[in-house]
Amino acid sequence: MFKKPLASIKPYSPLRSSDRRKFREELIRRYPTLENGESEENKSIVPEHVEKANVKTHNGYTGVLYVDESKHPLWIRLDKDKNEFLVPSVYTLWRNPSILPKIPTFPAVISKLENGANLMIPGIAFPTESLPDVKEGELVSIIIRDYNAPLAVGIMDVPTNSLERGSTRKGVAVSIIHIYKDQLWSMGDKSSPPDMEEGVKIDSIVEKQIKDEEHEQDEGQEREQRSATEVDTDFIISNEEEEAAIEQTARYTTAEVDDLLQASLYQALTEKLTSSVLPITSSQLYSEYILPSRPIGTEKDVDVKKSSYKQAMEKKGVIKLKSQRGETFLIRVDRDNEELKNFRSHKTVEKAAKPHALDEENKLSNSNNTASEIQIAEVYKPKGAVAELFEIQGKSKEGIYDFREIRQTVLGYVNSRDLADKRNRRYITLDENLREVLADKKFEDPLPDKMTQDDLFQHIRERMEEYHSVTFPGNDPELRKGSPKHLQILEATRSGNKMVTIIRGLEDYGINPDDLVEPLKKLCASSVTVSTTPQSSPKKPLYEVTIQGPQTTSVKEYLINTKGIPKKYITATPAKKGKGNKGGK
């Protein structure tokens, strides 16, 4: 459902305290597992600052999207097939994995689901116990078998009590609504799924599943599984793909896999990973840094279970690892190591993929697109107690940081002082420095002893100065104070029922309003005028462009396609419908 960007999204509006309380009560009614008696946990479901917006998906479904203050998606209320579903985002599911019943699948299936496929019945990885009891039409989450973090959420198409292991039954098991790496996920911080609290890593899950299947399934079950795969042409992995994967894996010996991963690690250490983010978990090192740094053409060749690259790197003195409570952390990198210093970089799978991703992202209906998009990044500067916290971590208090860097810096501080709760690492114990950062009038009640990671990151960011960086094509970035300003397109009625379309805020995007007169005249076949805005001052005049008629759609596409205005920073307000008024285009 979210494979493509939203067709439309209205301006966000904040939830009042009473609405937020009602929303939390509704969530607990629908998902009783949320009622655990821990107020901090409940706050993580509906944070203090929640906003909502009416949305429409690319395939015509309408709903309401709930986000936190940084526009991080939390929940979406969908009207689908005349039924209402209150769907948690994968970010919400990662914090609360028991909200929905879990349907397990195989690791290779996930990539097909990410491409828009539904989960087919043969794609279910039946657990040794049994599937949860779920009726047709109920929401479920999708997990990789033996990995607790949900990767997708969907609607059960058949009751689970009608499904049996080894059956050759075909058809859709779960209609996918939302999945990791789709457009709804992309609206958030694009973080990866967390590790299980037991310390099991994604790379070891595949190995465990292979061993389980070898020991638990007899030859008859294997034949049934193979038969189901060959018969069902809708199954997620085709025979040709399976054979190709086997052939790819067989191409490298253990020593060659070690060399491949070591080269990827060196690439990550020289180009991506800075010492300021340390310590980090080995799984984060692997998923966020090593995998994207693999050489082109080796996407399917990494078989981690055959590799001992981490031990080899530690023996060579390149990295220093430390085990703590069942988790392995990278705590130090020796950047003076001769082998690392002499490493020659290669083109990575991440860099190879980016042009294609950008092509897809920037495809526009107008084939005459020539403008490069203006790049805008929201960044922050530490101040007060936050600046002192950053200095403790070796960061400059005069520096400018994006949200990812803020998160890494705070996490580095938390890890270095062992502040994560030992029973639930999502909670952080507030020490003296953190309590000093949070001590202000925003907290009416006394500060809690613990706080979830997400809430802590948000509160710290709120206490930093807002800036944003604007990069016009062919120019160096410009740093501006405050949050980015939106370009406004609004429709209004003038002289009775005469409709006009007004553009405001062009100055913030380096556009001379007079330069738009002739192009918009031709585009809209209407008269176009330029005048000062009602809020304009003589010392610093601001201008608006007025076009006759309801021209919102045409004007918006023109500004995106020819002027490079990011769609995210355009706010379009069509005229309200009423008697004698059909609204904008």
pLDDT in tens, the chain (585 residues): 888 888 888 888 988 888 888 988 888 888 887 876 444 444 567 888 889 999 988 888 889 999 988 888 999 998 876 678 899 999 898 888 888 999 999 887 888 888 888 999 988 988 877 889 999 989 999 998 778 889 999 999 999 988 888 777 888 999 999 999 899 998 988 888 875 443 344 444 444 444 454 444 444 444 444 433 333 333 333 333 333 333 443 455 666 677 778 888 888 888 877 765 667 777 777 777 888 888 776 655 455 544 555 566 767 788 888 776 556 777 788 888 888 888 888 777 776 655 443 343 344 333 344 457 888 989 999 999 999 999 998 888 888 888 888 988 998 899 888 898 888 888 999 998 998 888 865 555 678 889 898 889 888 998 999 999 888 887 878 889 999 999 999 998 877 778 899 999 998 898 999 999 999 999 998 899 999 988 777 888 889 999 999 899 899 999 999 999 999 899 988 776 554 444 444
Contacts of 367 (CB under 8 A, 6+ apart): none
Residue 545 maps to a domain: yes
373 SS3 class: coil
Q: Which of 153, 149, 129, 126 is nearest to 141 (CA)?
A: 153
How far is Cα 401 from Cα 378, in angstroms, rounded to an integer? Answer: 9
- The pLDDT, as a whole number, for residue 383 is 92
Q: Which amino acid is at 412?
A: G
CA angle (300 as vertex; 263, 353 as ends), nearest 5: 75
8 Å CB contact between 560 and 509: no
Distance of alpha carbon 234 from alpha carbon 524, whole angstroms: 47
Instruction: Write down which residue in 363, 387, 415 finishes a domain.
Output: 363
Q: How far apart are CA 216 and CA 226, in angstroms?
A: 15
**What residues does 494 pair with on adjacent strands?**
498
State residue 399's pLDDT score. Answer: 86
Tokens encoding 546: 């007025």
**Could you give the number of structural domains in the chain?**
4
Determine, yes or no, domain membership for 370. no
Has residue 368 been placed in a domain? no
The whole-number pLDDT of residue 244 equals 39
Residues 219 and 359 in one domain: no
Instruction: Yes or no: say if 287 and 192 are a contact pair by the CB < 8 Å rule.
Output: yes
**How far apart are alpha carbons 150 and 145 in whole angstroms?**
10
Are the CB atoms for 363 and 373 separated by under 8 Å? no
From the CB of residue 286, how many other CB atoms can be counted at a distance below 10 Å? Answer: 22
- Judgement on whether residues 70 and 182 belong to the same structural domain of the protein: yes
Query: 133 and 171: one domain?
Result: yes
CATH number of the domain within which 510 lies: 3.30.780.10
Q: What are phi and psi of 9, to 5 degrees?
A: -145, 125
Query: Same structural domain for residues 84 and 127?
Result: yes
* Per-position DSSP letters for 501-562, written without gaps between them: EEEE-GGGGT--GGGGHHHHHHHHTS-EEEEE-TT--SSS--EEEEEES--HHHHHHHHHHH
Q: Are strands 478-481 and 465-471 parallel, antiparallel or unpaired?
A: antiparallel
Dist. CA 77–CA 65, nearest whole Å: 6
Burial class (CB in 10 A: 0-12, 13-18, 19+), 177: buried
Same domain, 299 and 324: yes
Residue that terminates a domain, selected from 434, 467, 500: 467
219 burial type by CB count under 10 A (0-12 exposed, 13-18 middle, 19+ buried):
exposed
Residues 428, 500 within the same domain: no
User: What is the DSSP pairing of strand 62-68 with strand 50-56?
Assistant: antiparallel
- Cα 177 to its chain centre, rounded Å, is 15
CATH code assigned at 63: 3.10.400.20
In a domain, 395, yes or no: yes
474 within domain boundaries: no
Last residue of a domain, one of 296, 328, 363: 363
Which region holds residue 325: left if phi is over 0, alpha if psi is between -120 and 50, else beta? Answer: left
Strand locations in 413-453, DSSP E?
427-429, 450-452
Rounded CA gap, 412 and 283, in Å? Answer: 16
43 and 139 assigned to the same domain: yes
User: Which residue carries 């290779």 as its tokens?
Assistant: 108
For residues 326 and 228, state if they share a domain: no
Could you tell me which of 96, 57, 103, 49 has the C-alpha nearest to residue 76?
57
- Residue 396 lies inside a defined structural domain of this protein: yes
Is residue 128, in this structure, part of any structural domain at all? yes
Q: What pLDDT is stored for residue 343 in this prediction?
A: 81
Q: Which of 146, 163, 182 is nearest to 1 (CA)?
A: 182
How many other C-beta atoms lie within 10 A of the C-beta of residue 150?
Answer: 26
Tokens 């009038």 locate to 441
472 in a structural domain: no
Shared domain for 335 and 389, answered yes or no, is no
Nearest Cα to Cα of residue 12 among 576, 577, 568, 575: 568
Element (H, E) at 172: strand 172-179
Could you tell me if 114 and 10 lie in one domain?
yes
pTM: 0.39
Q: Cis bond leading into 32, ω under 30°? A: no
Same domain, 416 and 285: no
Concatenating the DSSP letter of every residue in 468-504 gives: EEEE-TTS--EEEESSPPPEEEEEEEETTTEEEEEEE
Domain hosting 336: range is 250-363
**One domain for residues 221 and 318:** no
CATH number for 418: 1.10.245.10
